[in-house]
Structure 1
């Protein structure tokens, strides 16, 4: 009898709202041969006590702060000890990166002058970042807080307003402040639902979000595919 195909390895996907989507990150991981195990801790989903059954994890963003006192924020931040201890590939995006920074002893806080990054902003790779891959010159942002660089972490990319944009901790833990996962539909939704934030100091008007996408998104998308490959690799054939 022919042998059964090997089950596809799973990536744990942690989202923070009922209608949130992993977007292009999910699409790219599926295309590479992974399955997605989606959990939403704010809605009561438990996170696994080990990642033995997963090939890695991605924690996405959300409207809450990594400093909020909600029980799920504390539990999720504490849970990060599991991928770190087990040395499993881990990626934190925006809130996920801020939770990782908090867990590692860093600090999450707003800009000293109240500035935000909401729209498209320049990004500059550090020498350590350049050695890994080619980074986009412009990235999409949607945040009011940033993080300090945790001790023993390596800064991979920087920017003017919030200087810590991407970092690596150890071999397998990564955090990025910006968003490469947004599909066009997701960005349109964010622009509509987040329009009240465009009045904040440093934010860009909604038309510039979608206009900038036409110019810079192809480069951001290409980078995201390479970055996910760097973190998670490809599943073994079988």
Structure 2
């Protein structure tokens, strides 16, 4: 069986709704936290599929989080080998940094449910399933588009919401995996100030999650299922 490895940067940011299509595609799913002593010894080129999830840290905070430097070095090796890799939010920013782009704090927080604009070049890509579907956004950092990649989607707040490089690399700034996972409550409890900074309220965000979350996750699962189906054999 093919092996998928999830890198979890904080316990409350897991693969969530994406687990179902990954398992349905025939992968045995494993997970490791960056806090695990075994993490520093892993060869990230080995898994058939690597999934890097989100986290509240910035790629540029390597003094506070020395594992970022270590992970970036091994991620570059994987990307050079063109091994299938998915990055979500902080994971997408790590991919951008590994490809040589700057990651930096943006001018505003983007927190809440709203759709992304799918660019014409991505009309038949896995992102097509998200057309006009509000998905969860929760970030304040952004990145320059890496050289040699293709921009797939933007939002009304941040231009760089999704990119790919060939069929094996997909980076997603937003969280289409979240909408049915109880860990959403931990996000609000951990970062209530982010909700306020983005101009929202906890009550409104919880209501939007309950109302829009299931549709977002369904679309996200279709997106991941298509991406996995289109990976080279």
- TM (norm. structure 1) is 0.85
Whole-Å separation in 2 of the counterparts to 1:161 and 1:18: 28
- What secondary structure sits across from 2:100 in the alignment? coil
Give the aligned partner of residue 215 of structure 2.
219
Q: Structure 2 vs 1, CA of residues 135 and 152 (structure 1 numbering), >3 Å: closer, same or farther? A: same
Give the aligned partner of residue 183 of structure 2.
186
- Partners of 2:76 and 2:99 within 8 A in 1: no
Whole-Å separation in 2 of the counterparts to 1:145 and 1:196: 15
Q: Structure 2 vs 1, CA of residues 47 and 225 (structure 1 numbering), >3 Å: closer, same or farther? A: farther
Q: Which runs of 5+ in 1 are unaligned?
A: 1-7
Which whole-Å deviations, capped at 9, do the CAs of 1:111-133 have from their partners, x for residues lacking one?
Answer: 2xx31111113310001221213
Which whole-Å deviations, capped at 9, do the CAs of 1:87-111 have from their partners, x for residues lacking one?
Answer: 2211100001001111112121122
Residue 28 of structure 1 deviates from its aligned partner by: 3.3
Q: Structure 2 vs 1, CA of residues 204 and 66 (structure 1 numbering), >3 Å: closer, same or farther? A: same
- TM (norm. structure 2) is 0.87
- Partners of 1:15 and 1:21 within 8 A in 2: yes
- What secondary structure sits across from 1:43 in the alignment? coil
Whole-Å separation in 2 of the counterparts to 1:29 and 1:120: 24
Paired residue for 1:51, among 9, 31, 45? 45
Give the aligned partner of residue 230 of structure 1.
226
Residue 30 of structure 1 deviates from its aligned partner by: 2.6
Is 1:10 matched up with 2:11?
A: no
Work out the number of aligned pairs and report it: 224
Greater shift after overlay, 183-192 or 54-63? 183-192
Whole-Å separation in 2 of the counterparts to 1:172 and 1:220: 23
Give the aligned partner of residue 35 of structure 1.
28
Give the aligned partner of residue 119 of structure 2.
126
Residue 20 of structure 1 deviates from its aligned partner by: 4.3
Return structure 1 stretches of 4+ with deviation > 6 angstroms.
Answer: none
- Partners of 2:12 and 2:187 within 8 A in 1: no
Give the aligned partner of residue 203 of structure 2.
207
Whole-Å separation in 2 of the counterparts to 1:197 and 1:50: 32
Give the aligned partner of residue 64 of structure 1.
57
Q: Aligned-residue CA RMSD in angstroms?
A: 2.1
Q: Which runs of 5+ in 2 are unaligned?
A: none
Give the aligned partner of residue 91 of structure 1.
86
Whole-Å separation in 1 of the counterparts to 2:27 and 2:84: 13
Report the structure number with the largest CA radius of gyration.
1
Q: Structure 2 vs 1, CA of residues 61 and 20 (structure 1 numbering), >3 Å: closer, same or farther? A: closer
